[in-house]
Chain A
C-alpha cells in the first residue's frame, strides 16, 4: 500500500472532501488515530490477491433487471414532509454560487 504520511495538510484535504470542518482538538485527536488505523490496514500488503476478482457483492448475483416502467412513488407532500426548507412544492437548498 502507498505509504501516506497523515499530516495536518492531508487530514484537512480529506475533511474538505468529506464536507467536514474539524476543530483544532479534533485534528489533534484524529491525526495519530488515523495513522494507527491506516498502518493496521497495511497488513493486507502481505496477502497476494493478484489472481482474484473483487467481490463487490459478497453473494454473486447476475442480471437483475426490471421493466422500464415507472412504479408507484410517494406523493410530493410526503416527500416534502420532513423539512422546513421548501418553497412552491420544491425543496429549497442553500445558494449554489
Chain B
C-alpha cells in the first residue's frame, strides 16, 4: 500500500470523526484522474462535476450525522454495471449513449453506505478478453507498473486504477472466467470474486448468466472484503442471489492449503511456479499445513467446458442488442432483420462477433446436446472434483496467471485459442463458481505475480482469511 493511502476502514473512521473531509478527498482523487487518465485510460467515463456533486451532498449529510460503511469512499464501477444517469457501455459501441435509469443493486448498496461513484472503468467488450484490448468503446488501459504492458482483463481499468491511485479507493468489478483475478494479479492488487449468487447480478450487463459474478478489488484484502460485505446479499431483483451472511477475516489456526499438482505442472514458467510455491510454503511459519492435491479433470477440461458455456450463453445474452430501445442506433431502414443485422455488424467488435458465432454454433440444432449440454454435465463433474478436494483441505493455492502481464506487442501475436488458454488457472474456479481471492506473491522482472486462493462454495470468510494471512507474510 502506498504510504499516504489509508485503508478503507481507517478512512471511514477519520471521515466520521471529522478529521478527513470527504469533499476534499474526492477533489484530490478527481485531480489525479484528470491528470492521469488521458495516458492510462482506466476510466471510460469520468465527470468531475458528477463526482463533486455527490461529495458536496454527502459532506452536508455527514455534518448532520450521516453514517455508513463506505462513508466518503470513492469507488470505481466496471463499465458493465448500470449506474443511473451515467453512460454505461460495457466497453461496447453497441451501448453508445446508454444512460441507465436505475442503479445496479451492487451500486445502490454502495451508495447507501455513503460511497462516492467516480465513474466507469475500462474493460474488454462485455468481458470478452484477458488483456483489456478487445473494446469498441473507451481505450486500452495501461498497466501503471509498465505502460507497455496490459492491465489484464477484462476488468483492466478497475485493477489499473486501484494500483495507480494514491488515495483510498475500491473498485467494483465483475468476473466470468477470471476477469477479477487476472487483472488484480497483473497489477499487484488484492481481489475477491465471491461464490456465484453472493452478489446480486441485477443491473449487470451480462456476459454469461450462469457464470457472472460481481466482486471487488482494493489495495488490501481487508478493503476488498469490506466492499464485498457491502454489495452482497439476497436481492428480490435477482432470483439466483443468495443470503450468505457477512464474510469475516479471522486468524486461521492450522489451515490446510492444497497445491493442485496438475495445474502447477501445466504452468510453463517455472519462475512463476516457484514464486507462488515460496509464498505458499511461507505460510507454514504461521502453522499452515501445505499438501499436494489433485484436480486433473478441472485442469484438463476446465477451459473447454468454460468457453463452451460462456460463448453459448453470451450468444443469447447479446441477442437483445439490436439498435432499438437503447444504445447504438441507425436510421430505421429495411425490414427488421436487415436493420438488426446492420446495427450488430457495425457495432460489435471482432472478439464479440467471434464469440457470438461460436456460441450460436454450439447451440444450433444437432449440436446443442454434443456441445452445450455436454459442457453443463462436465461442470457437474468438475464441481464434484473440487468438493472432494475441499473435504481434505481448507483452500487451494496456485498462481492466478501462468504469465506476468504481457506487452501489447506480444498480445497482438496471439491467436484466439492462445488468448483463451491464458485463462488456464482462473477458469476452473470460475466455471465451478468457487469463491477466490488474490494477493500479490512477489515480483518477476519488477512485475507482480498474483497468488490465487480458492475455497468451497460460500466459504468467503475462509478464502479471505487465508488471503489476509498470505498478505501479511513477509
Flag A50-94 by CB within 8 Å of B: 1 or 0 each: 001111111101001010000000100011011111000001111
Contact A34-B242, Cβ < 8 Å, known A93-B324, A94-B336: no
- Please state if A94 and B326 are interface contacts (CB–CB under 8 Å): no
With the chains together, A93 CA to B329 CA distance in Å? 11
- Please state if B324 and A19 are interface contacts (CB–CB under 8 Å): no
Chain B positions within 8 Å of A56 at CB level: 210, 376
Contact A41-B371, Cβ < 8 Å, known A58-B432, A83-B325: yes
- Determine which residue in B329, B348, B377, B458 has the highest number of CB atoms from chain A within 10 A of its CB, and name it: B377
- Please state if A53 and B380 are interface contacts (CB–CB under 8 Å): yes
With the chains together, A92 CA to B356 CA distance in Å? 26
- Please state if A54 and B315 are interface contacts (CB–CB under 8 Å): no
Residue of B nearest to A64 (CB): B239
Flag B103-115 by CB within 8 Å of A: 1 or 0 each: 0000000000000
Contact of B305 among A4, A44, A79 (CB under 8 A): A44
Flag B265-306 by CB within 8 Å of A: 1 or 0 each: 000000000000000000000000000000001001101110
Chain A positions within 8 Å of B97 at CB level: 82
- Please state if A21 and B345 are interface contacts (CB–CB under 8 Å): yes
With the chains together, A15 CA to B360 CA distance in Å? 8
- Please state if A95 and B381 are interface contacts (CB–CB under 8 Å): no
Chain A positions within 8 Å of B98 at CB level: 82
- Please state if A57 and B210 are interface contacts (CB–CB under 8 Å): yes
With the chains together, A21 CA to B342 CA distance in Å? 7
Chain A positions within 8 Å of B371 at CB level: 1, 41
Chain A positions within 8 Å of B373 at CB level: 54
A26 interfacial contact with B, CB 8 Å: yes
- Please state if A52 and B381 are interface contacts (CB–CB under 8 Å): yes
- Please state if B240 and A61 are interface contacts (CB–CB under 8 Å): yes
Chain B interface residue count, CB cutoff 8 Å, equals 77
With the chains together, A36 CA to B358 CA distance in Å? 11
- Please state if A14 and B308 are interface contacts (CB–CB under 8 Å): no
Contact of A41 among B304, B338, B340, B350 (CB under 8 A): B304
Flag B302-328 by CB within 8 Å of A: 1 or 0 each: 011101100000010001001011110
Residue of A nearest to B308 (CB): A41
Q: Is the interface of B mostly helix, strand, loop or mixed?
A: helix
> Closest Cβ of chain B: how far from A40's Cβ, in Å?
6
One of B177-185, B393-401, B413-421 at the interface: B413-421
B366 interfacial contact with A, CB 8 Å: yes
- Please state if B336 and A93 are interface contacts (CB–CB under 8 Å): yes
- Determine which residue in A34, A43, A49, A55 has the highest number of CB atoms from chain B within 10 A of its CB, and name it: A55
B446 interfacial contact with A, CB 8 Å: no
Chain A positions within 8 Å of B370 at CB level: 1-2
Residue of A nearest to B335 (CB): A95
- Please state if A94 and B339 are interface contacts (CB–CB under 8 Å): yes
Chain A positions within 8 Å of B240 at CB level: 57, 61, 64
Contact of B332 among A22, A57, A93 (CB under 8 A): A93
- Please state if A14 and B101 are interface contacts (CB–CB under 8 Å): no
Chain B positions within 8 Å of A57 at CB level: 196, 210, 240
Contact A37-B420, Cβ < 8 Å, known A20-B353, A58-B196, A78-B101: yes
Chain B positions within 8 Å of A94 at CB level: 324, 332-336, 338-340
- Please state if B327 and A82 are interface contacts (CB–CB under 8 Å): yes
> Closest Cβ of chain A: how far from B363's Cβ, in Å?
9
- Please state if B341 and A20 are interface contacts (CB–CB under 8 Å): yes
- Please state if B301 and A91 are interface contacts (CB–CB under 8 Å): no
- Please state if B377 and A54 are interface contacts (CB–CB under 8 Å): yes
Chain A positions within 8 Å of B3 at CB level: none
With the chains together, A4 CA to B197 CA distance in Å? 36
Q: Provide 6 A-B residue pairs closer than 8 Å at the C-beta atoms, listed in order of the A residue.
A: A4-B367, A10-B361, A26-B350, A54-B376, A58-B196, A59-B196
The 3 closest A-B pairs by CB, nearest first: A54-B376, A58-B433, A82-B326
Chain B residues at the A interface, C-beta cutoff of 8 Å: 97-99, 101-102, 195-197, 210-211, 236, 239-240, 242, 297, 300-301, 303-305, 307-308, 315, 319, 322, 324-327, 329, 332-342, 344-345, 348, 350, 353-354, 356-358, 360-362, 364, 366-367, 370-371, 373-381, 383, 415-417, 420, 431-433, 457-458
* Sample of 17 further A-B pairs with CB below 8 A, known A36-B416, A41-B371, A44-B301: A17-B364, A19-B340, A26-B350, A29-B350, A33-B354, A41-B304, A43-B301, A44-B378, A47-B300, A49-B377, A52-B377, A55-B377, A56-B210, A66-B239, A81-B99, A83-B325, A94-B333
